[in-house]
Structure 1
């Protein structure tokens, strides 16, 4: 078991944070944006960036090639629907996608929107870490959190009305 401090300050003891989130043991701030039989989408509000979504497998795996054929199809379908909703509902023009296999959690993809203010940190993939740190350290205020929660609600409504 590992002790993990969540973005809301609450400390939990879990074997795997992703398993705890996808199973419903831990409710992410803002709730679940979308859920299928195989995947769970939410926002990590520790990074208050409107429209940032994490899509995680419910099954405890590490690598893309461990997905079954059915899971792969579901993953692409959900990823595409979230991206479409980001564009149509939130007006997000560009998104960076991140997935890594050497994580302490299991298979998940980050969908990080690009906003104009982020370009002061650069335009390459290398700029994402400073952007995330800036958001966590400088934008963690009531106004930003309110904007993020409204975006979560809008995406949730859109994604769950279409299925």
Structure 2
């Protein structure tokens, strides 16, 4: 079991955070953004950045090459729909995508928006960790959390319009 601190300050103890989220054991703040037969998308529970979406496989796998053909097709369709919604309703011009196989969770992709305030930390992939820590330590309340929650609702509504949500 691992202890994980969520963006709301709550600490949870789980074997796999991805399994806990995709199964509904842990409800992400604002709920599920989009869910299909194979994937679960939610606002990142650790870092309060508007539009920072985690797209996680429902199956407990680690590597991209473990996806079935059906899951691969679903993955790219869902990723594309979320990206379109980020651009259309949140005005997110650029996103950094991250996926790593040595994670303690299972297969998931981070869709990290790039906002102007982030450029003070740099413009490369190396700037992401300081950005995430800044958000967790300095943006975890007040107006920012209201904006994060409104972003979740806007994405959920847009994704229902363009389809792909089984909820």
Q: CA RMSD in A?
A: 1.2
Q: Which moved more, 1:4-13 or 1:53-62?
A: 4-13
Cα pair 1:57 1:106 within 8 Å, conserved: yes
After TM superposition, the score normalised by the length of structure 2 is 0.93
Which residues of structure 2 form unaligned runs of 5+? Answer: none
**Contact 1:89–1:155 (CA<8 Å) still a contact in 2?**
yes
Instruction: Tell me, yes or no, if the aligned pair for 1:45 and 1:145 is still in contact at 8 Å.
Output: no
Q: Is the 2:7–2:48 Cα contact (8 Å) retained in structure 1?
A: no
Cross-structure match for 1:153: 153
Question: Are the structure 2 counterparts of residues 12 and 59 from structure 1 closer, same or farther at C-alpha, using a change threshold of 3 Å?
Answer: same
Structure 1 residues 122 and 3 mapped into 2: Cα distance closer, same or farther (>3 Å)?
closer
Tell me the residue number matched to 1:47: 47
- Residue 31 of structure 1 is matched in structure 2 by 31
**Cα distance, 1:45 vs. partner?**
4.1
> By how many angstroms is 1:32 displaced?
0.3
- Does the 8 Å CA contact 1:45/1:148 hold for their aligned counterparts? no
Q: SS of the residue aligned with 1:140? A: coil
What pairs with 1:1-163 in structure 2 (closer than 5 Å)?
A: 1-163=1-163
SS of alignment partner, residue 9 of structure 1: coil
Query: What SS is found at the alignment partner of 1:156?
Result: helix
Q: Provide the rounded CA distance (Å) in 2 between the counterparts of 1:159 and 1:67.
A: 23
**SS class of match (2:62):** coil
The one-character-per-residue Cα deviations of 1:101-134 (angstroms, maximum 9, x if unpaired) are 0000000000000011111111111111111111
**For the residues of structure 1 that align with 2:2 and 2:137, how far apart are their CA atoms?**
24
Question: 2 CA distance for matches of 1:4 and 1:140?
Answer: 16
- Cα distance, 1:2 vs structure 2: 3.4
Query: Is 1:85–1:158's contact at 8 Å kept on the other side of the alignment?
Result: yes
Q: Which digits, 9 at most, give the CA deviation of each residue in 1:65-117, with x for residues without a partner? A: 00000000000000000000000001100000000000000000000000111
Q: Is the 8 A contact 2:7 2:140 kept in 1?
A: no
Change (3 A) 1:78 1:9: same
